[in-house]
């Protein structure tokens, strides 16, 4: 959510930003909110004036009564009552105006960074750099579900009986490898100065609308029936929500935390769920990182954060690339975002395994996360990034470490989490 002052002072900038995001239907909303805000301020001035007049008149009544001027006092009482009624009418209008202004401001997109490439959708995202050589081995790499099943590591049929499509059982060494990735990502972030956290896995609706746009919420979130609770789609939601309505001190900043959670997503829409594989599922696990910092530091943190993910995947012998998200692919709250994509030797292309975002002051403004310092009280910046998520990260790990005999080579950084095991062999 942007500052209303930006619409008052630079309405063209707001409209140009909307055009860059190919959301021209929202331009009319900018004009509407400009007029509503102008009227709201006029009403506020009128209410303040009337309240001052009312207080002045009320003060005169007692004096007139004391002087025995009852008739004059009664006339002023009538004026006070009329003024009070006018104030009440204006305050009701003000309430309506405020509500509509908030509704519009919640859908006006955040001002994107000047460095963001302009494009309509994810097909126009821009590759920035590759890390590691994308290798295609001489032998065939089977579909990841077939590899995992040959290793005795998955049962989707049983999950279908217990939970339906989009769920799975991970078993044996594959389940252990999945947890090893998460644990390694956790320890990597702790070693880089991040505080570890396990947050609530359910949050209230005001936190949901504070961290994401309504269309995202409807597409992603599972609601708990009969309660004001939603299952989180990522631990960023509850981690940023932790600081709701807080005024932080300068010496507390930056706040950098890494959090573990299961994640729950509807995964509806055209892409659908995978019947056999693990790429699109309703439930997965993730290690996340979040930062809350001074506005002038957020871009430095953004670059640090996505680089951490690159380093983690390269340490697991997985080639990756950084893909800059174009304007049309940015969610409305984001200032800048990039995806880290892992190489798939089976498909001979990259696929997304992590996403890093700088949200500027959008979440902080919605949730009331501020700092009180020498410059006064102002909204901070928030950022989030995937450390590692499974099973997508697991797919990348398995494909890039698949051996010709059907076994999986375990990267050295994960071997301590696997009891020193170096390979996962096919079950005889």
pLDDT in tens, 195-223: 999 999 999 999 999 998 777 777 788 99
Q: Which residue has the higher pLDDT, 213 or 44?
A: 44
Q: How confident is the model at residue 273 (pLDDT cuts 50, 70, 90)?
A: low
| Reported confidence tier of residue 271, pLDDT bands at 50, 70, 90 | low
Q: Does the pLDDT of residue 270 top 50, yes or no?
A: no
CB-based contact 230:208 (threshold 8 Å)? yes
Over the stretch 314-342, which tens digit does the pLDDT of each residue have?
999 999 999 999 999 999 999 999 999 99
Rounded Cα gap, residues 361 and 93, in angstroms: 29
Residue 59 has pLDDT above 60, yes or no: yes
CB 153 within 8 A of CB 171: yes
**In the prediction, which pLDDT does 55 show?**
85
- pLDDT per position as a tens digit, 155-200: 999 999 999 988 999 999 999 999 999 999 999 999 999 999 999 9
Q: Can you give the pLDDT at residue 87?
A: 94
Tens digits of per-residue pLDDT, 67-124?
777 777 778 888 888 899 999 999 999 999 999 999 999 999 999 999 999 999 999 9
pLDDT at 374: 80
3-class secondary structure, 51: helix
pLDDT at 63 over 50: yes
Query: Of the candidates 15, 19, 17, which has an alpha carbon nearest to the alpha carbon of residue 34?
Result: 15
Q: What is the pLDDT of residue 272?
A: 55
* Separation of alpha carbons 218 and 223, rounded Å: 10
- pLDDT at site 315: 97
pLDDT digits (tens, 9 = 90+) for 354-396: 999 999 999 999 999 999 988 789 999 999 999 999 999 999 9
What domains appear along the chain, each with residue ranges and CATH number? 4-105 (1.10.287.40), 122-424 (3.30.930.10)
Against a cut of 0.85, is the pTM above it? Answer: yes
Segment 129-145 shows an average pLDDT of 95
- Per the rule left: phi > 0, alpha: psi between -120 and 50, beta: everything else, 267 is left
Q: Are 259 and 223 in contact (CB under 8 A)?
A: no
Query: For residues 202 and 225, what is the distance between their CA atoms, to the nearest angstrom?
Result: 12
Percent of the chain predicted with pLDDT > 90 = 83
Asked if residue 428 has pLDDT above 80, the reply is no
Phi and psi at residue 338, to the nearest 5°:
-145, 155
148 contact partners, CB below 8 Å, separation of at least 6: 154, 174, 278, 398
Whole-number pLDDT of residue 65: 74
pLDDT band at 268; cut points 50, 70, 90: low
- Within 13 Å and on the Cβ side, how many CA atoms surround 376? 2
Q: Is the pLDDT of residue 269 over 60?
A: no
Residue-level pLDDT at 263: 94
Average pLDDT over residues 270-282: 72
Residue 349: the pLDDT is: 96
CB of 10 closer than 8 Å to CB of 64: no
**Average pLDDT of the chain, as a whole number:** 93
């Amino acid at each position: 959510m942007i500052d209303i002052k930006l619409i008052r002072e630079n309405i063209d900038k707001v409209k140009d930003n909307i055009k860059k995001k190919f959301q021209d239907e929202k331009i009319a909303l900018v004009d509407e909110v400009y007029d509503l805000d102008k009227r709201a301020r006029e009403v506020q001035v009128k209410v303040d004036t009337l309240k001052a007049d009312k207080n002045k008149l009320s003060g005169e009544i007692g004096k007139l009564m004391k002087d025995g001027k009852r008739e004059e006092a009664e006339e002023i009482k009538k004026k006070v009552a009329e003024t009070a009624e006018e104030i009440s009418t204006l305050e009701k209008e003000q309430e309506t105006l405020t509500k509509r202004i908030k509704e519009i401001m919640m859908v006006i997109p955040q001002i994107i960074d000047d460095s963001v490439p302009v494009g309509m959708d994810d097909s126009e995202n821009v590759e920035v750099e590759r890390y590691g050589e994308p290798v295609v081995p001489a032998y065939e790499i089977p579909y990841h579900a077939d590899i995992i099943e040959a290793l005795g590591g998955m049962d989707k049929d049983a999950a279908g009986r217990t939970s339906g499509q989009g769920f799975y059982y991970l078993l044996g060494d594959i389940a252990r490898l999945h947890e090893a990735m998460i644990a390694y990502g956790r320890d990597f972030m702790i070693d880089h100065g991040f505080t570890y956290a396990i947050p609530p896995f359910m949050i209230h609706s005001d936190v949901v609308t504070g961290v994401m746009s309504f269309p995202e919420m409807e597409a992603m979130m599972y609601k708990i029936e009969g309660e004001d609770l939603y299952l989180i789609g990522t631990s960023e939601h509850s981690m940023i929500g932790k600081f709701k309505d807080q005024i932080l001190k300068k010496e507390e900043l930056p706040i950098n935390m890494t959090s573990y959670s299961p994640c729950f997503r509807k995964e509806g829409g055209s892409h659908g769920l995978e019947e056999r594989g693990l790429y699109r599922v309703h439930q997965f696990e993730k290690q996340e990182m979040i930062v809350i910092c001074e506005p002038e530091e957020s871009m430095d943190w953004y670059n640090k954060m996505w680089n951490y993910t690159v380093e983690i995947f390269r340490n697991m012998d997985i080639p990756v690339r950084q893909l800059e998200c174009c304007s049309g692919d940015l969610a409305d709250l984001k200032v800048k975002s990039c995806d880290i994509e892992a190489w798939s030797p089976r498909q001979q292309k990259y696929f997304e395994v992590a996403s890093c975002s700088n949200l500027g002051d959008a979440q902080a403004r919605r949730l009331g996360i501020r700092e009180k310092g020498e410059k006064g009280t102002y909204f901070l910046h928030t950022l989030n990034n995937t450390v590692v998520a499974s099973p997508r990260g697991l797919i990348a790990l398995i494909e890039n470490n698949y051996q010709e005999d059907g076994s999986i080579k375990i990267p050295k950084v994960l071997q301590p989490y696997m009891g020193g095991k170096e390979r996962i062999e096919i079950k005889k």
